[in-house]
Amino acid sequence: MEGPTEISSNKMFEGFNRRYKHYSPTLGCDMTFSIFFPPASVSKKVPVLYWLSGLTCTDENFIVKSGAQRAASKESVALVAPDTSPRGLNVEGESDSWDFGVGAGFYLNATQGKWANWRMYDYVVDELPKLLSSHFHQLDTANASIFGHSMGGHGALTVFFKNQNKYKSVSAFAPIVNPIDCPWGQKAFLNYLGDNKSSWEEYDATYLVKKCNGLSKTILIDQGEEDKFLHNQLLPHKFEEACKIANVPLTLRLQPGYDHSFFFIATFIDEHIEHHSKALHAS
């Protein structure tokens, strides 16, 4: 596997934000990703916390806006933020709308025609961890957790449910938890996966949680009550009901006055990193 090239490096809270570029065989194009290395990574391997971003984002939004590095430095956890879709493939229509195509990979493996390279699920679950393991000796990639926001919250939950042996914990900010029943998800699934709706269930957290058979790991979700997407796109109460049926522990915190933005994420990010640190440092 060809190694990544460093694009930039910035010191922060005694650690370093570093951004990389590499060619992805899975996606068929160059991809970028960002890593925050906490200061502890100088002397020992540190666990990995993957962040999956939302619609229109790149790997940089979270790194620049969230302020997550303060807690990650304190908790000795590396942050890894991939991009949200392939870029530069010049697929017809890939940039026609903000909620589909470029910047909107939905962390699934597309099956339909021209979208066949949209395989962000395989990239996040398989290719990127192998790349990190091969080229970054500071990272304990076998000790990992995952979280995200909006479309990325959807991605974090579905990736976790389908790979519980790979991740110690999961959390999300304002996730799209029931994409089968919301406009964003229906648009993405129809175009990426086709009209066989049974295949859609494989990327819907509200369906997947029902297969968990009494998962013991608590899921943490923060949701702003003033989020304009709450009632027609995000649907957290449907997921809450599914967790109760499946006997899966969920902490769903509805935060008064907060919206869908990075102001909301930055307010509660430390608590999410502490949530994951407990799981990552438990062994």
For 144, 215, 233, 239, the CA distances from 244, given in Å and listed in that order, are: 26, 11, 21, 9
169 part of the active site:
no
Q: What domains can you pick out in the chain, each with its CATH number? A: 5-281 (3.40.50.1820)
DSSP letter at 281 equals T
Q: Can you give the pLDDT at residue 179?
A: 98
The DSSP secondary structure of 37-86, one letter per residue, reads E-GGGGTS-EEEEEEE--TT--SHHHHHHS-THHHHHHHT-EEEEE-SS-
150 part of the active site:
yes
Which position among 22, 149, 154, 260 bears the catalytic label? Answer: 260
Q: What is the pLDDT along the chain (283 residues), one digit of tens a residue?
A: 568 999 999 999 999 999 999 999 999 999 999 999 999 999 999 999 999 999 999 999 999 999 999 999 999 999 999 999 999 999 999 999 999 999 999 999 999 999 999 999 999 999 999 999 999 999 999 999 999 999 999 999 999 999 999 999 999 999 999 999 999 999 999 999 999 999 999 999 999 999 887 788 899 999 999 999 999 999 999 999 999 999 999 999 999 999 999 999 999 999 999 999 999 999 6
Q: Can you give the pLDDT at residue 1?
A: 57
Q: Which helix (DSSP H) or strand (DSSP E) does residue 155 occupy?
A: helix 151-162
Q: Can you give the pLDDT at residue 233?
A: 98
As a whole number of angstroms, the distance between CA 161 and CA 202 comes to 10
- Going by C-beta distance under 8 Å and a sequence separation of 6 or more, which residues neighbour residue 7? 19, 20, 21, 32
43 part of the active site:
no
Which position among 41, 73, 227, 275 bears the catalytic label? Answer: 227
Which position among 150, 169, 171, 277 bears the catalytic label? Answer: 150
